[in-house]
Amino acid sequence: MISNTIQPHQEFETALLHRINTSERYQMYQEAFQHATGLPLRLVSADPDGWCLDDQKTNRSPFCEALNHDNVSCSACIETNRRLMKEAEVNGPSTCHCFAGLCATAVPIKLGASVIGYLKTGQVFSKIPTEDQFDKLLGAMGRKTIDKPSRDTLRAAYFQTRFVEPTRYQSMVTLLNSFADQLSEHAESLAIIEEGSEPAAIAKARKYIHANLDQPLPLGLVARQAGLSESHFCRLFKDSAGLTLTDYVNRCRIDWAKRELLKPEARISEIAFLIGYQSLSQFNRSFARIVGLSPTMYRRQRLERVAS
């Protein structure tokens, strides 16, 4: 069984995402995007299991809010978002449709090779909604389980939901992708600014690690990037990150490998060298030690989940 416990190397990315979310740059763009397009915009965690419908209710369409009162719809929506975020993690900006016919888009924010979060928008129709489609939706939800007042509320919200012509919507996604690139650069700047208890030297080292995972990262090189002696760096890094440099690098690389393994055409040996390992056997040992499964078994289980 794969643990979902947040690891020390992931805590750095989570804290960084929070700082981006509360930054003036992001909040100004969020407001401008909403006013210009009429679409919601959120910056969410890279953990698909951490996303929920109750997050930021004010930034959600009335129809999605109405659906949230139905447990079946809620579960279907959560599963759709998990799949969307996984697709965006592997393929970049991605759009999908939920069971109710609304489209949603996720655009990844990166720090080097690591995906630290997603810009999410959508909650609009790509086709003009019809009475027939609404009747089919009610049938899928179980018409007999919905009382008339709830049905009337749902219908009103359904037909008030915006329709955006696909070409225009794609232009909005293109703008969002450009902003995601800017936020990724902003993340690199924030990563080396001292905040809280983490020394700026260690934050600078982490930034360098995340940006160069595919390259050799010997202790001497990373310590020089931090401006510290090797012995001082080792003590400070372990105290701050909770891991040795070697273990931290391995865990970051394995997180990257997990994304690459979702590409069925990618050979495991190619993934091993892509993410910075010098041999396939070294990669297999590290992956099994950290994940608890071999790369082959992990790929099989995850692809089966996506297909189910």
Render pLDDT for 238-270 as a digit per residue (tens, 0 to 9). Answer: 888 788 999 999 988 998 898 888 888 889 999
Q: Does residue 187 contact residue 210 with C-beta atoms inside 8 Å?
A: no
For the chain, domains (ranges, CATH) are 8-190 (no CATH), 196-307 (1.10.10.60)
Q: What is the pLDDT of residue 270?
A: 94
**Separation of alpha carbons 125 and 101, rounded Å:** 6
Percent of the chain with pLDDT over 90: 25
User: 57: which DSSP letter?
Assistant: G
In this predicted model, which residue has the larger pLDDT, 181 or 69?
181
Torsion on CA atoms 297, 83, 180, 185, rounded to nearest 10: -20
Q: How far apart are CA 136 and CA 149, in angstroms?
A: 18
Residue 48 has pLDDT above 80, yes or no: no
Quote the pLDDT of residue 54.
46
Q: What angle do CA 207, 223, 46 make, to 5 degrees?
A: 20
Mean pLDDT of 27-39: 88
| pLDDT exceeds 60 at position 235 | yes
- Tell me what the mean pLDDT of segment 183-194 comes to: 72
Burial label, 289 (beta-carbon count in 10 A; 0-12, 13-18, 19+): exposed
Please report which confidence band the pLDDT of residue 123 belongs to, taking 50, 70 and 90 as the band edges: confident
Spatial CB neighbours of 74, under 8 Å, sequence gap ≥ 6? 53, 67, 68
Alpha carbon 134 to chain centroid distance? 31
